[in-house]
A and B are shown apart, each in its own frame.
Chain A
C-alpha cells in the first residue's frame, strides 16, 4: 500500500519561499514507472497541476508554465521523498498543496494535503 505523508509550514510571508515535503512509503521516488507530482487546490482556481519529477535512467522535471520560473521539485533518494519549493510567493499562492503519485496517466495516491497561507 502506497502512502504519501506531507509536511511543511502552514504560513509563509509574501516574497518568501514555500516549501513542502512528501515522504513516500510503499514505492520509490526512483521508480521507473511512476512520476511524483505537486498539485494545489484553491476556491478561486480549483485544482491546478504544478509540476512533476520522475526517473527514467535520469531525472526529469516538468513544470506548469504559470509557475515554471519560480518553482523547483527536488527528489531525495536517501530519504525516499520529494519536495516542492515555490519562490517569491504572493497571497495568490494560498492554497491546499497536494503531492500525488502518477501512474498509467492518472494520480492514484495522494498526500493528505497541506494548507499553506501566504500572509504577513
Chain B
C-alpha cells in the first residue's frame, strides 16, 4: 500500500488560513469516508484533529476543518496561531482493511 501524498511543507502567517492536501486513490481516500488528520509535535504522541473526513473530536478548536473531494482530502486551519506549528499527517482506511498514512506536512507559522 503506497503512502498518501501530502505536500512536504506549508506555511502561513498568524491569522491566515492554510490548506493541506492528501491525495490517495480509489482504494483508500476515494473508497470510504474514513480519513483522519493528526497533529504531531516532536517528542509527543500524535493528536487526533479530524476523523471521518469532517468530524472534530471534543476539545479540538473549530479553526480546524476537513473535507474531501474524490481521491483528495484536505485539512484547513483558519486563524493560524503559533501553536499550530507542527507536522500534520492524514490517514485513510483502505479496501485491503488496512490503514495508510500520508508522508506528513510540516507547517511553519511565519
Query: Contact residues of A with B, CB < 8 Å?
Result: 37, 41, 46-49, 52, 62-65, 98, 104-108, 110-113
Contacts and interface: CB of A to CB of B under 8 A. Distances in A.
Given A64-B1, A104-B51, A105-B36, A47 B98 contact: no
Given A47-B104, A113-B45, A106 B36 contact: yes
Contacts of A113: 45
Interface of B: 1, 3, 32, 34, 36, 38, 40, 45-46, 48, 50-52, 55, 57, 87, 89, 91, 93, 96-104
Secondary structure dominating the interface of A: strand
Contacts of A108: 48, 51, 57
B36 A46 contact: no
Nearest to A103: B51
B52 A47 contact: no
15 contacts: A46-B3, A46-B87, A47-B46, A47-B91, A47-B101, A49-B91, A62-B97, A64-B99, A65-B96, A104-B55, A105-B36, A105-B51, A105-B52, A107-B46, A108-B48
